[in-house]
Amino acid sequence: MDACGGSYTPEQRRKYYISGPQWAAAYEGHALFHAPTRSPISFETVIEEYGKIGIPCWATHDTDVIPSDQLGKDGQHEIVARIKKSLADNGLRCSMVTTETFHHAVFASSPASESPEIRKYAKWRVCNTVDIGHELGAEFAVYWPGSLGYQIQGAVEETQTLRWYAESLNAACEHDIAVASKLGRPTLKHCMEAKPFEPQAEILLPTSDAMLGFIASGLLTHPEMVGLNPEYLHELMWGGAPRAALARALTSGKLWHFDINDGYRLKHDVDIAVGLVNPLDWLNVLILLRSHGYNGPFNLDYKPPRTTSAFGVFKVSFPTAVDRFITLWEMAGEVMQDPIISEASSALRAGAGCESNDPTEIFEANKELLSLHELIGHRLVQILLGVHRGRVYSV
């Protein structure tokens, strides 16, 4: 690691709004075809290790830390008190809480099941998470709808299921308004997260755009309290351009929280560390976010590979992900100041000054200018590779 270079100090890392999820560090390497390769670890260890690295925030699902049978009971209060102490002891804060409405058998038919008792339970779960969020001082609540969809067509009526799903979000927002006013705290920012292909065969809200439509559908009683938590890889998975998906969220004023990771198009959710597959695309994403003043969290929602040891999770996976993010973020700032890109962009925006309305004349007047598109792309890669600073190879 020392030989690799490019690392920042914990103090430098803490200047960025980066959060480390409990489930990411505690991931044991298991999946349908995979036995675990790492042993369970406690939230105390995760928080302590994040603190040493310099990750300033922590996020969790309710059941990452509280067993299902303890939710809403004394066990929950004891655990939340231990979390608070652990965060305070290690100089972290809780930025986000999220409800697991996908893993437990009760959610096999989704949190918006036909069964009223399952829906009642799902509503209680999201309201209980709002309580946990306020107790831990969180700003955000995230909702990944998980099994909102079906394996077999026919039984699930899509419009009704979406109405029922909206009822859970409405319950969470209404409960939040009551709790926040009692505590004198701001309400949480409720953020929906889409994933296109898992865990159902068909997903009712598969993309961030589908969720924007859902938020604006009239089904929510408090659409102003609900925004998005896009995940980079989830937008890439369906074949979209993550940067364009983020741009659509930005123009709707709904880009509130962002899960950062990497992976491949049209594949399953591999949750690889940010910038490890598509660093150029990531640079472009961060240029967009920096130039629009995005100031929400960057949540390290990725899974350390199965081949990495428990030691490696905190010595290799998390520090390298954080440092690559910081490098790309700072590089995005460099691009925004770059005299060549600025000059090329201004020239493109000024146009050729052609007075004619004849398309051929307009094209002729602009065609040299339009070469600047490629020049800007070339310059971005030079910056990414350090070539603009004179890095050369002997041949």
Q: How far apart are the first and last CA of the chain?
A: 29
If the CB atoms of residues 191 and 380 are measured against Mn ion, the closer one turns out to be: 191
Task: Identify whether the C-beta of residue 109 lies closer than 8 Å to the C-beta of residue 118.
Answer: yes
If the CB atoms of residues 7 and 308 are measured against Mn ion, the closer one turns out to be: 308
Distance (Å, rounded) from C-alpha 358 to C-alpha 268?
49
Least spacing, CB of residue 209 vs ligand GCO, in Å: 17
Binding mask 243-262 for ligand GCO (x = CB under 6 A): ----------------x---
Least spacing, CB of residue 358 vs ligand GCO, in Å: 52
Among Mn ion, ligand GCO, none, what does residue 98 contact (CB within 5–8 Å per kind)? ligand GCO
What is the β-pairing status of strands 202-203 and 149-150? antiparallel
> Considering only residues 49, 231, 262, 323, which one is a binding residue for Mn ion as defined by CB under 5 A?
231
Identity of the residue numbered 51 = G
Residues ≥6 apart with Cβ < 8 Å to 364: none
If the CB atoms of residues 100 and 338 are measured against ligand GCO, the closer one turns out to be: 100
Supply angle C-alpha 229, 58, 65, rounded to 5: 100
> For the chain, how big is the Rg over CA atoms in Å?
23
Q: What is the largest CA-CA distance in the chain?
A: 76
Binding mask 268-307 for ligand GCO (x = CB under 6 A): -x-x-----------------------------x------
Question: Footprint of ligand GCO on residues 91-130 (CB under 6 A)?
Answer: 98
Sequential DSSP letters for 6-43: ----HHHHTTS-EEEEHHHHT--S-BTTB--SS----H
Residue 338 interacting with Mn ion (CB under 5 A): no
> Considering only residues 18, 127, 138, 142, which one is a binding residue for ligand GCO as defined by CB under 6 A?
142
What is the β-pairing status of strands 57-61 and 93-98? parallel
Least spacing, CB of residue 141 vs ligand GCO, in Å: 9
Residue 64 interacting with ligand GCO (CB under 6 A): no
Distance (Å, rounded) from C-alpha 299 to C-alpha 227?
16
How far, in Å, are 294, 334, 337, 385 from residue 381 at the CA level? 23, 13, 15, 6
Binding mask 218-237 for ligand GCO (x = CB under 6 A): -------------x------
Least spacing, CB of residue 121 vs ligand GCO, in Å: 18
Question: Footprint of Mn ion on residues 244-303 (CB under 5 A)?
Answer: 259, 269, 271, 301
Least spacing, CB of residue 308 vs ligand GCO, in Å: 18
Q: Give, as one character, the DSSP assignment of residue 95.
A: E
Among ligand GCO, Mn ion, none, what does residue 318 contact (CB within 5–8 Å per kind)? none
Task: Identify whether the C-beta of residue 93 lies closer than 8 Å to the C-beta of residue 59.
Answer: no
Residue 193 interacting with ligand GCO (CB under 6 A): yes
Question: Which among 29, 41, 136 is positioned nearest to 92, based on CA atoms?
Answer: 136
Q: Give, as one character, the DSSP assignment of residue 186.
A: P
Identity of the residue numbered 216 = A
If the CB atoms of residues 51 and 196 are measured against Mn ion, the closer one turns out to be: 196
Q: Give, as one character, the DSSP assignment of residue 68.
A: G
Least spacing, CB of residue 306 vs ligand GCO, in Å: 16
Instruction: Give the footprint of ligand GCO on this chain (CB under 6 A).
Output: 98, 142, 144, 193, 195, 231, 259, 269, 271, 301
Instruction: Give the footprint of Mn ion on this chain (CB under 5 A).
Output: 231, 259, 269, 271, 301
